[in-house]
Structures are given as C-alpha cells and as structure tokens.
C-alpha cells in the first residue's frame, strides 16, 4: 500500500504522516509538499528517518512534477492536505488560495485519473458551510447543510469540494471528502489562535482578540482528525462527504483566558483588536454520520488536549522560535500593528 500525502509538512498533514507510519508498518508514505511559509521540513524530522517514508518537494499545481511522482510511486491512495489554510491571509491576498486550493486539487485528481488510484481523499473544512448564529445552539452543520462560504479561503475550499464531487460523477473517480472543525495540537503554525496565544503569553506579549472574542469554534484534537481520515480512506463509502467534529464549542475569549490560567499569566495581556472582515460567528459540526457509519468517536477531551498542546509548545521551543524569528515577524507586524 502506497499513500501520497500532500501538505505533509504542515500541521495536520504531518500529524497524519506520523499516525500512519506508526499504525501501518507495511505502508509506504510519500509526502508531497512545496514548503510554503507554513511547511517545515523540521516538522518531519522523525519521519525522514523511517525507510517507509519519502519526501518530494513539489507544488501540487505543477502538473509535470506531480505526474512524475505518481509514475514513480504508483499510489493506491492520495490524501490531499496541501492548501493555503489561513483565513486572514486569504482576506489580504486571495489569489494563491484559488491557485493551490482549487487548481492544485484539479492537478492531483487529473493525475489520479491518468495513473489510476483506489481512493482520492480531499481534506476539507466545516468553513464551507458558512456560519451559524450564536443564539441558535440547536443548529449544527450536517453533510446536507448548503455550501455558503464567507471568506476567500472557505470559498476556495468549497470550490474544490464541488470539483471533487464533479470528478466523481463525471469520471467515476473514487473520492471521499472530510469536513472537519478547528484542529489544535502539536506543529500548529503560530499564526493560528491557540499557538499564537500560547506563544505570546509565554513572551508576556499582548493577546490580540478579534472583535469581542465571542465567536465560537468547535475544537478537535488533531489526532482525532487523523483517525477519522484513516477510517474514511479505508472504510468510507466512495462519493460520500463526512463531517468530523467532537461537539466542543468554545468562544475565543474563553480559550484565551484558559491559556492565561494554565500558563499562570495575567488576563491583562488580553487586547481587543479590530475584527476580522466577514468574521464567521459560530461553527458547530454534527458528526452523527461518521459515528453511525464508521464508528468514529473523538478520544481526546479538550481539558486534556489543551494541556498536551501547551506542554508540546513548552517542550518544543526551538521549533516555533525558529518560525517566529523568520518572515513571520513581517507578517505579524502587517497583521497586528496599529490594528
Ligand atoms: P497548514 O497551513 O499548516 O499546512 C499546509 C501545508 O500545505 C504546508 O506544509 C504547505 O507547505 C503545503 N502547501 C501549501 N501550498 C502547497 C502547494 N501548492 N503544493 C504543495 N504543498 C503546499 O494547514 P493545516 O492547518 O495543516 O490544514 C491542512 C488541510 O486541512 C487544509 O486543506 C485545510 O483546509 C484543512 N483543514 C484544516 C483545519 C484546521 O483547523 N487547521 C480544519 C479543517 C480542515
Ligand atoms: O474550522 C476549520 C478552520 O479552522 C480551517 O479550515 C482553517 O484552515 C483554520 O485556519 C481554522 O480557521 P479559523 O479562522 O477558525 O482559525 P484561526 O485560528 O485563524 O481563528 C480562530 C478564531 O480566533 C477566529 O474566530 C478568529 C479568532 N482569532 C484568531 C487569531 C489568529 C483572534 O481572535 N485573534 C487572533 O490573533
């Protein structure tokens, strides 16, 4: 069994690589990643020592490079994590989101058609459903909720999902899609809420909360997402979409306060800043289908997951200190200075 994992040098992709190498000692994993600002080879240090793992530095939009990799690897399964993933960046500069997230998906699926595969899996997001109101806790995203994207990022992911389903219907490509809620855990890039707040709090720096901090996200520990994808690629029905989430809704401000408490830092660090444009209010996944059909249930409770995450950032300072000392400094200045 050979699996191509794209975007494996990023947050969730790398966690998935480690999950698969550990669980299936007879599988070959070929990671394809062009190492954008969000991809780090140091993240894959442990995997690179494993003879079952191979790394290809390539852009998923580069048809020639992708074809060569498919020719060499003859994959049974392709799992596509590669994407531009940060909503704020998509608001400032949408173009690369459309290229990677839509056209890159097309290139990968064309290669799947050309060389033949057993499964193409698209890693999508709950953001394709838009958002839910705060005052209707009874409403959840199901797989039947209409696509209603808000940001250039989520519109690009929604477009890719539509293309994936179109390749299934038109060409019979054996596809599956997972739409997961917000992940957290090891190797989460410092631009995202949880790692940003941990790292800033450790440095006694302001903790920039958008708007009033009342927006709600549905947090899932990253290894639970990896297990869901593992189940879907092996047992999921072709042509199907599976929502993935653990019923763990929390307001941003509560997360930030919890991080302050766990790190013994003062809440005075919290600084309310201008809101994100078009800011989605609430995400909440109904995971009934994946539970009923595939038996998936999340294993990590938020109280444990957040402690594990904080511990990981305390023990892996070198990983994030290297990142935040590079181009991230310009990004941070542009995004937060005078906000
Ligand atoms: P990330 O930004 O941490 O990692 C993305 C990876 O993709 C990086 O290693 C980057 O180098 C690589 N990449 C980007 N453009 C590429 C290209 N053109 N060719 C090859 N590689 C490229 O992202 P993440 O948070 O790990 O998200 C992974 C996937 O999961 C994305 O598709 C995202 O939409 C989806 N998702 C993320 C979350 C979340 O909470 N982070 C939740 C649901 C779904
Ligand atoms: O729901 C899944 C999505 O979750 C994924 O598809 C995306 O790839 C991933 O980035 C994530 O998107 P969010 O926009 O929800 O994540 P982010 O960490 O950027 O922000 C989480 C919430 O915190 C959001 O309401 C904005 C807020 N926020 C974020 C940052 C970076 C702040 O208040 N301050 C900040 O500095």
DSSP 200-260: HHHTT--EEEETTS--EEE-EEHHHHHHHHHHHHHHSPTT-EEEE--S-EEEHHHHHHHHH
- 153 an active-site residue? yes
Question: What string of pLDDT tens digits covers the 339 residues of the chain?
Answer: 999 999 999 999 999 999 999 999 999 999 999 999 999 999 999 999 999 999 999 999 999 999 999 999 999 999 999 999 999 999 999 999 999 999 999 999 999 999 999 999 999 999 999 999 999 999 999 999 999 999 999 999 999 999 999 999 999 999 999 999 999 999 999 999 999 999 999 999 999 999 999 999 999 999 999 999 999 999 999 999 999 999 999 999 999 999 999 999 999 999 999 999 999 999 999 999 999 999 999 999 999 999 999 999 999 999 999 999 989 999 999 999 989
CA quadruple 97, 103, 109, 111: dihedral, nearest 10: -120
Q: How far is the CA of 85 from the centre of ligand 1 (A)?
A: 5
Measure the CA–CA gap between 208 and 201, rounded to whole angstroms.
Answer: 11
User: Exactly one of 127, 191, 218, 224 is catalytic; which is it?
Assistant: 127
Angle between helices 317-324 and 193-202 (to 10 degrees): 100
Residues in the chain: 339
Full-prediction pTM beyond 0.95? yes
Taken in order of first residue, the domains within the chain and their CATH numbers are 2-187+220-247+278-300 (3.40.50.720)
Q: How far is the CA of 276 from the centre of ligand 2 (A)?
A: 10
CB 84 within 8 A of CB 109: no
User: DSSP E strands: which ranges in the chain?
Assistant: 2-6, 28-33, 53-57, 77-80, 119-125, 175-180, 183-184, 207-210, 216-218, 220-221, 241-244, 249-251, 270-273
Task: Check residue 336 and give its pLDDT.
Answer: 97
Angle between helices 317-324 and 302-315 (to 10 degrees): 70
Q: Which residues form the pocket of ligand 2, taking CB atoms under 6 Å from any ligand atom?
A: 85-87, 125-127, 181-182, 192-193, 196, 208-210, 215, 217, 252, 276, 283
């Amino acid at each position: 069994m050979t699996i191509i994992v794209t975007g494996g040098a990023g947050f969730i992709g790398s966690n998935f690589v480690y999950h698969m190498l550990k669980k299936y000692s007879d599988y070959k994993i070929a990671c394809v990643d062009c190492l954008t600002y969000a991809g780090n080879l140091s993240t894959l240090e442990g995997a690179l020592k494993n003879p079952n793992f191979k790394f290809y530095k390539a852009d998923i939009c580069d048809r020639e490079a992708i074809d060569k990799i498919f020719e060499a690897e003859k994959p049974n399964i392709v799992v596509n994590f590669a994407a531009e993933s940060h909503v704020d960046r998509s608001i400032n500069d949408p173009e690369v989101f459309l290229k990677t997230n839509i056209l890159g998906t097309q290139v990968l699926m064309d290669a799947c058609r050309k060389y033949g595969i057993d499964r193409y899996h698209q890693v999508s997001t709950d953001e394709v459903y838009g958002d839910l109101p705060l005052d209707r806790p009874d409403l959840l995203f199901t797989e039947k909720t209409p696509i209603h994207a808000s940001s250039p990022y989520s519109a690009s992911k929604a477009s890719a999902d539509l293309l994936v389903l179109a390749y299934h219907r038109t060409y019979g490509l054996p596809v599956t899609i997972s739409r997961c809620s917000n992940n957290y855990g090891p190797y989460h890039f410092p631009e995202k809420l949880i790692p940003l707040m941990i790292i800033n709090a450790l440095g006694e720096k302001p903790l920039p909360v958008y708007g009033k901090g009342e927006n709600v996200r549905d947090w899932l520990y990253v290894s639970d997402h990896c297990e869901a994808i593992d189940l879907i690629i092996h047992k999921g029905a072709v042509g199907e979409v599976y929502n993935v989430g653990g019923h763990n809704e929390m307001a941003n401000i509560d997360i930030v306060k919890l991080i302050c408490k766990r790190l013994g830092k003062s809440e005075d660090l919290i600084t309310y800043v201008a809101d994100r444009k078009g800011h989605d209010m609430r995400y909440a996944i109904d995971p009934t289908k994946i539970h009923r059909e595939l038996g998936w249930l999340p294993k990590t409770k938020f109280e444990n997951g957040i402690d594990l995450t904080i511990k990981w950032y305390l023990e892996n300072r070198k990983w994030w200190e290297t990142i935040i000392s590079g181009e991230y400094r310009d990004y941070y200045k542009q995004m937060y200075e005078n906000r």
